Amino acid sequence: MIRYTLICDQDHRFESWFQSSDAFDALAQSGHLACAICGSSDVKRAMMAPSVPAKGNKVDLKTPQSDAETALAKLRADVEANSDDVGLSFAQEARKMHDGDVPERPIHGTAKLEEAKKLIDDGIPVAPLPFMPKRKAN
């Protein structure tokens, strides 16, 4: 895995991980990259210096480093505090609520792409969250 600092045509800087340099190039050439802040698809690698921490220095990965990371952390906290995590049962729970089989309530969880598409096709409003569930994060 390789981490790149990226920059869009609106001068927003953000970081992302890629499997390799070739993987980044393939995604960039196919137009599958977008700015994490404004959504612009004009994204390039920013000039970077190697990240070599001095002996004994540790990088704090838990504290948000930018306004975007702070907003994302707040969104995660709000979602987790105000909705039920139904895990892999998300599609089934959303369908039961839509059909009136169970009371409606805010939920979040995981669905396969095919399940999410089927929910949308059936008029059941769902949206992806811009973060991984904590149970999948390491």
pLDDT tens digits, 24-50? 888 888 888 888 888 888 889 887 666
pTM for the full predicted model? 0.54
pLDDT tens digits, 65-124? 778 788 888 898 999 999 999 999 999 999 999 999 999 999 999 999 899 999 999 999
DSSP string, the chain: -EEEEEEETT--EEEEEES-HHHHHHHHHTT----TTT--S-EEEPP-----PPTT----SSS--SHHHHHHHHHHHHHHHHSEEEETTHHHHHHHHHHTSS----EEE---HHHHHHHHHTT------SS--TTT--
Sequence spans of domains, the chain? 2-45, 67-121
